[in-house]
């Protein structure tokens, strides 16, 4: 395996290592979770010379060179030294190589004489696509978010409000006067932060920012796992964006993709002429849905790579959480596969034991090292205890997307209100399992692409009814147990489905119905954040109580939301038809006076303005198994929220 001494200088390369024997042992055992401090390109001062230390894992190579503009891409000038310890790591110091220099690794494989040119799996910056070289870069940054980081546990706690604005960075807003260009990190630090702040979301979530060659993958086909995309600026400029969010009191969540990677030849695939990062057997290593490659979760060095990558974003970029993409595809060996196309585990089952082990270890490491962070699973099956701690047998995530709620709710809302009386169970079914996990309610990007249309397009009726339905959907979402996630554009009632190469249709805010939706979303976020009954017990059955879920004739639901203080609860009454109900009566527990604090039919939202003004008095009359009752005016296609005076 080439030069075994690790001490003999190759052409132009000075022997040097950042690895200790302990590092190597951790790496080999799959327990090194700070690999980004060792592998990759690191600008250092070595014996008075400034240059770059390079280290890359390529165990099946007999020679590895660093090539770049600094050596005219000559593979003989800077040949790395292979370590003597069978780790498969090639390393060395090259004087004079500095930030901004582009480079690749030229790998001479032992496998069939292959010669490969690869980007650095640990590069912290890449050239702007479609160029494919890595860039030497120093990611030091003077953070100014100390106050946020010290108080982050309060913002990220499971009994605090958690309202997420999901963003595709490249299409949130475009510069029409400059060739439809995307905003840069610096521009987003002004405009996006301001919008999220004004609209009242507690967190922003970015579709993957990690470098990806194909813009149309939305970031889910990653080649540069340790680099924010250079399309929008430098690493420090992305850090500035995170910093600005933190100073505005807003958390930052990144989508993270450990489930697969693309087949771009300069990337991870066939890295040293063998299946190094991917599983060699296509029945376990090839993803039929996305025509991509699945990581070898049983290989220790790959486990170190993946967990190190998750830790990297929490450590170096101060992000507050990771939403882990496509968890279901990792958990099941037969995911999207027919009989005979998958290999059972050692017990004959369909569970991917290696991936399960990885996810548990990932969450354990994150919550041990960054206890105030959160991990969120996009998991679409009934896999048990996804958001339960590993010590009780769970996967260890903080939250899980409630995909069933999203599907059932949108299906229900798409029906003409005249038929909703026959589908009452569809809108209430989520409460049968709402407290089995720490659920987040998503209305995500996946619901407004691939011909599904915009949310407003899926609402039935005339224009007024469609907007009323949308406002009712959002109000139901924000008063339903669980945290919240809304994709960009939905907050203004965008009328066309999302396209990654077009901007959100901000011009719609020239029209009153869309202004009304934005005002409603702003007020819903304020209501959610200001009323502990809507978030303190959002994951527990003690935070929710039905008053009436059986009035299917009128398609009305009435329920209670409760927080830690049993005396400060809210009542929500929702009318899913366009027929208003004057004097609608339902039972309450206590002899209190009530006040309407929110109404999605308010005229400022472009509603009809049927309000309950003044004091709503309780009467001593039995109703719904309760001793008292109140009567309210229930507006059409709307929900009202009541609070005791």
For each of the domains in the chain, give its residue range(s) and CATH number, in order of start.
21-135 (2.60.40.10), 160-361+369-383 (3.20.20.80), 541-644 (2.60.40.1180)
For the residues 579-594, what does the mean pLDDT come to?
A: 95
For the stretch 532-571, pLDDT in tens is 999 999 999 999 999 999 999 999 999 999 999 988 999 9
Task: Match 């069933």 to its residue by tokens.
Answer: 404
Burial class (CB in 10 A: 0-12, 13-18, 19+), 422: exposed
Give this prediction's pTM. 0.96
512, two tokens? 């009153």
Nearest to 443 by CA among 220, 155, 201: 201
CA distance 480 to 546: 11
Q: Are the beta carbons of 93 and 16 closer than 8 angstroms?
A: yes
Where in the sequence numbering do the catalytic residues fall?
A: 325, 378
Q: Output the CA angle 523-529-533, nearest 5 degrees.
A: 110
Task: Match 């395996």 to its residue by tokens.
Answer: 1
Kindly give, in sequence order, each residue whose CB lies less than 8 Å from that of residue 126, ignoring residues fewer than 6 positions away. 119, 132, 133, 134, 135, 211, 223, 224, 227, 230
For the residues 433-451, what does the mean pLDDT come to?
A: 95
For the stretch 9-54, pLDDT in tens is 456 899 999 999 999 999 999 999 999 999 999 999 999 999 999 9
For the residues 280-288, what does the mean pLDDT come to?
A: 92
Task: Match 């309610």 to its residue by tokens.
Answer: 441
Nearest to 252 by CA among 242, 262, 265: 242
Q: Name residue 65's beta-bridge partners.
A: 79, 106
**Coil, strand or helix at 65:** strand
For the residues 386-390, what does the mean pLDDT come to?
A: 97
Cα distances from 173 to residues 201, 370, 503, in angstroms, run 18, 32, 5
Nearest to 371 by CA among 320, 323, 305: 320
Q: Are the beta carbons of 407 and 447 closer than 8 angstroms?
A: no
CA distance 340 to 67: 44
Cα distances from 201 to residues 146, 163, 253, 491, 494, in angstroms, run 21, 5, 12, 11, 18
For the stretch 313-327, pLDDT in tens is 999 999 999 999 999
For the stretch 401-416, pLDDT in tens is 999 999 999 999 999 9
Task: Match 């020239």 to its residue by tokens.
Answer: 510
117, two tokens? 């040119």
67, two tokens? 């090539």
Lowest mean pLDDT among 167-181, 478-492, 627-641: 167-181
């Amino acid at each position: 395996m080439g030069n075994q001494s690790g001490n003999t200088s190759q052409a132009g390369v000075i022997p040097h290592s950042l690895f200790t024997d302990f590092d190597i042992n951790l790496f080999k055992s799959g327990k090194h979770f700070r690999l980004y401090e060792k592998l990759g390109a690191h600008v250092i001062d070595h014996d008075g010379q400034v240059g770059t230390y390079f280290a890359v894992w390529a165990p099946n190579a007999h020679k590895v060179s660093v090539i770049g503009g600094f050596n005219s891409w000559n593979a003989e000038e800077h040949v790395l030294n292979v370590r003597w310890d069978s780790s498969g790591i090639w390393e060395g110091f090259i004087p004079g190589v500095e930030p901004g220099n582009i480079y690749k690794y030229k790998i001479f494989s032992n496998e069939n004489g292959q010669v490969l040119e690869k980007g650095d799996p640990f590069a912290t910056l890449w050239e702007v696509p479609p160029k494919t070289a890595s860039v030497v870069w120093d990611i030091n940054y003077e953070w100014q978010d100390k106050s946020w980081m010290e108080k982050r546990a309060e913002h990220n706690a499971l009994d605090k409000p958690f309202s997420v604005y999901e963003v595709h960075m490249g299409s949130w807003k475009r510069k029409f006067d400059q060739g439809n260009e995307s905003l840069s990190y610096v521009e987003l630090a002004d405009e996006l932060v301001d919008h999220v702040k004004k609209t009242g979301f507690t967190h922003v979530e970015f579709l993957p920012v990690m470098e990806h060659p194909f813009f149309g993958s939305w970031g889910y086909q990653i080649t540069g796992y340790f680099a924010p995309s250079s399309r929008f600026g430098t690493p420090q400029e992305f850090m500035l964006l995170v910093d600005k969010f933190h100073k505005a009191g807003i958390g930052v969540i990144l989508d993270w993709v450990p489930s697969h990677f693309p087949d771009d030849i300069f990337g991870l695939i066939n890295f040293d002429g063998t299946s190094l990062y991917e599983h060699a057997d296509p029945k376990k290593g090839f993803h039929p849905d996305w025509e991509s490659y699945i990581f070898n979760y049983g290989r220790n060095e790959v486990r170190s790579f993946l967990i190190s990558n998750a830790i990297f974003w929490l450590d170096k970029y101060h992000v507050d959480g990771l939403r882990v993409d496509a968890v279901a595809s990792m958990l099941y060996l037969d995911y999207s596969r027919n009989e005979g196309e998958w290999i059972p585990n050692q017990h004959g089952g369909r569970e991917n034991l290696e991936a399960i082990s990885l996810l548990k270890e990932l969450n354990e490491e994150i919550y041990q090292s960054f206890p105030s962070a959160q991990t969120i699973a996009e998991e679409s099956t009934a896999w048990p205890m996804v958001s339960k701690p590993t010590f009780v047998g769970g996967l260890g995530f903080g939250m899980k997307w409630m995909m069933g709620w999203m599907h059932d709710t949108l299906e229900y809302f798409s029906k003409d209100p005249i038929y909703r009386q026959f589908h009452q169970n569809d809108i209430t079914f989520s409460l049968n399992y709402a407290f089995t996990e720490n659920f987040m309610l998503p209305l995500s990007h996946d619901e407004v692409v691939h011909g599904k249309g915009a949310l407003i397009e899926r609402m039935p009726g005339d224009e007024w009814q469609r907007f009323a339905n949308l406002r009712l959907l959002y109000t139901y979402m924000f008063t339903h147990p669980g945290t919240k996630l809304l994709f960009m554009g939905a907050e203004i009632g965008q009328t066309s489905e999302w396209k990654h190469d077009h901007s959100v249709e901000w011009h719609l805010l020239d029209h009153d119905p869309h202004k009304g939706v934005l005002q409603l979303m702003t007020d819903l976020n304020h209501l959610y954040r200001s009323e502990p009954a809507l978030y303190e017990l959002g994951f527990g059955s003690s935070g929710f109580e039905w008053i009436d879920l059986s009035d299917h004739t009128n398609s009305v639901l009435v329920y209670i939301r409760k927080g830690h203080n049993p005396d400060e609860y809210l009542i929500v009454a929702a009318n899913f038809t366009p027929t208003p109900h004057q004097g609608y009566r339902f039972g309450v527990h206590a002899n209190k006076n009530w006040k309407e604090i929110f109404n999605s039919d308010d005229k400022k939202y472009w509603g009809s303005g049927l309000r309950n003004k003044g004091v709503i008095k309780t009467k001593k009359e039995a109703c719904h198994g309760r001793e008292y009752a109140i009567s309210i005016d229930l507006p059409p296609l709307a929900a009202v929220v009541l609070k005791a005076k």
